[in-house]
């Protein structure tokens, strides 16, 4: 599939970018799921002109508006990103390739936590939020991946190349069948129960599940969501900041031509008003870049 602009993220920033890029007569595709947006499941009363409104209602309206301008919502997460000549190339969960002339990173902040005992206490002592970052430390050791979405699936498959034993704890599978099957084929052990507690004194020793299973392990990798903005940015030669945010200029451009970013991923304040404003700017400038106007 080819498109002028690929927007990664279906929250307020990504949807607004889609609306403005489409209105600039660019072909636009949007990857990701609205259910993963920080706005989903919330109630807002400080966004201009709406009064009290549910985040899900606002997202639904936005998607309909973007689709009416010609934007296409793919409903899948991006799992790989890179360059191909002057264009960008991506792979979706289902295996489809997408090529674009410009890209807008609007993934939000995806380093979510489980909120279970032992998670905070053992962070950095066997608890990690980035399997790609820390996999080398687990060569010949046991590892457990925790999560339901594409990031967990990809991380589980990857970890089999490092760990002596890789388990994947999943309780509400959201990743595609293609990614799930790849993990199983690689030898990942599937455990279907919610995590209850991370056990250990000075380091991780085991993960306890709600069904009573205790999984001995040296590392617990919490991967809740799609690939992080930092991972995607680095694939596109954009170096994220130390806090995994992406630095942009006043036009929402990164240091790499054709790569733009907007919304929570660019840093605080984490507000819909800021996300939408940046989405407008990023969408228009990405479309202009794709059309050779900047």
* DSSP states along 200-225: ESSSEEEEEETTS-EEE-SEEEE--S
* Rounded Cα–Cα distance for residues 247 and 29 (Å): 23
pLDDT of residue 151: 83
User: What pLDDT band is residue 101 in, cutting at 50, 70 and 90?
Assistant: very high
CA Rg value for the chain:
19
pLDDT of residue 279: 98
Give me the percent of the chain exceeding a pLDDT of 90. 71
* Rounded Cα–Cα distance for residues 223 and 170 (Å): 11
- The answer to whether 172 and 157 have CB atoms below 8 angstroms apart is no
pLDDT of residue 291: 94
- The answer to whether 104 and 17 have CB atoms below 8 angstroms apart is yes
Q: With 80 as the cut, is the pLDDT of residue 228 above it?
A: no
Q: 């991780």: which residue's tokens?
A: 204
Q: Which of 105-119, 142-156, 236-250 has the lowest mean pLDDT?
A: 105-119
What's the CATH superfamily of 127-222? FAD/NAD(P)-binding domain (3.50.50.60)
CB atoms within 10 A of CB 203: 12
* Rounded Cα–Cα distance for residues 123 and 125 (Å): 5
- The answer to whether 233 and 254 have CB atoms below 8 angstroms apart is yes
- Beta-ladder partners of 66: none
**Which two structure tokens, joined as six digits, stand for 96?**
């489809």
Average pLDDT score over the chain: 92
Q: With 80 as the cut, is the pLDDT of residue 111 above it?
A: no
Check residues 169 and 242 and name the one with the higher pLDDT.
Answer: 169
Q: 């380093």: which residue's tokens?
A: 111
Sign of the C-alpha dihedral computed for residues 92, 95, 96 and 98 taken in this order: positive
User: What pLDDT band is residue 226 in, cutting at 50, 70 and 90?
Assistant: low
Q: With 80 as the cut, is the pLDDT of residue 132 above it?
A: no
pLDDT of residue 231: 81
Whether omega before 269 lies within 30 degrees of 0, making that bond cis, reads yes
Domain made up of 2-110+227-290: CATH architecture: 3-Layer(bba) Sandwich (3.50)
pLDDT tens per residue across span 168-184: 999 999 888 999 999 99
- Would the CATH topology of 2-110+227-290 be identical to that of 127-222? yes
pLDDT of residue 212: 95
Domain parsing of the chain, residue ranges = 2-110+227-290, 127-222
* Rounded Cα–Cα distance for residues 87 and 279 (Å): 21
* Rounded Cα–Cα distance for residues 24 and 287 (Å): 6
What's the average model confidence in pLDDT over 269-282?
94
């Amino acid at each position: 599939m080819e498109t002028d602009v690929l927007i990664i993220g279906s929250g307020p920033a990504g949807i607004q970018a889609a609306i403005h890029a489409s209105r600039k007569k660019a072909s636009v595709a949007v990857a990701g799921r609205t259910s993963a947006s920080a706005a989903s499941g919330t109630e807002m009363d400080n966004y201009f002109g709406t009064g009290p409104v549910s985040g899900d209602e606002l997202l639904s309206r936005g998607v309909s508006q973007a689709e009416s301008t010609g934007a296409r919502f793919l409903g899948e997460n991006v799992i790989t990103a890179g360059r191909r000549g002057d264009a960008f190339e991506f792979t979706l969960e289902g295996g489809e390739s997408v090529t674009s002339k410009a890209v807008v990173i609007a993934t939000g902040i995806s380093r979510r936590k489980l909120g279970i005992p032992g998670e905070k206490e053992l962070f950095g002592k066997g608890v990690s939020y980035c399997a790609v970052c820390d996999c080398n430390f687990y060569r010949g050791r046991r590892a457990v991946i925790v999560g339901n979405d594409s990031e967990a699936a990809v991380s589980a498959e990857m970890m089999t190349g490092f760990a002596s034993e890789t388990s994947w704890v999943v309780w509400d599978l959201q990743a595609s069948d293609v990614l799930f099957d790849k993990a199983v084929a690689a030898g990942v052990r599937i455990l279907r129960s919610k995590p209850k507690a991370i056990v250990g004194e000075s380091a991780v020793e085991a993960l306890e599940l709600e069904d009573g299973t205790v999984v001995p392990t040296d590392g617990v990798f919490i991967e809740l969501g799609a690939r992080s903005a930092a991972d995607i940015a680095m694939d596109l030669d954009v170096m994220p900041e130390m806090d995994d945010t992406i630095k942009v200029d006043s036009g929402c451009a990164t240091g790499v031509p054709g790569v733009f970013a907007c919304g929570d991923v660019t840093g605080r304040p984490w507000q819909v008003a800021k996300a939408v404003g940046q989405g407008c700017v990023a969408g228009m400038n990405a479309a202009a870049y794709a059309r050779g106007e900047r």
